[in-house]
Amino acid sequence: MWTTLQAAPPLAPAERTGPPSGPGTPTLSPPFALVAELDRPSDYDRVFRVVRGAVRHVLGVERPGLGLGLSNLPPSLGAYWQVTGNLIVMNEGLVAAMRANATSPREFNSFVYVILAHEYLHALGYLDETEVRRVTAQVTRGAFGPEHPATRMAEGDLWRMFPFLQFAPRGDGRRLKVVTRFDLATTSTYIR
């Protein structure tokens, strides 16, 4: 099992660097520093810090104060976010199936990243499924490049890439576990 319960350092906003700028001179964004975070054992909070950082790096927007729950959902559903809510609910069965079959922490964390990024973008106001899939892929490619497993997952179909996901335990969503110590970068001062 790769999940740990270690706290992660806070993220710094992406800085803009480049030559002296003037009218019409674009500035270049530095490489996304958090890409290596997906390469080592991690917890949901650490992966979500990468999600928030990637979205901020590529789109320049963020939303604080989200929570995470795990539920026994049908295997065809990766997660959901209720419009106007502040809780992302991930499919616990899919997470367990991916953890059991992933070949590395990078592959497992990339899977969790893509699911969380998709729902985080919903929470930022991207409600159309086609659009949120496109933007998830855009953010991931912009932060990690075209060859990273997270980019391939965001641009592809997780259930085709990992056929074992369709055999994850079937659930009806009646059970919900709230994940503690999530989104600590924005909630640590008022939620402990």
Quote the pLDDT of residue 19: 34
pLDDT in tens, 90-130: 999 999 999 999 999 999 999 999 999 999 999 999 999 99
pLDDT in tens, 4-26: 323 333 323 333 333 333 444 33
Angle between helices 92-101 and 105-123 (to 10 degrees): 150
Domain ranges of the chain: 34-187
Place of tokens 């990468």: 50
- Are the beta carbons of 81 and 89 closer than 8 angstroms? yes
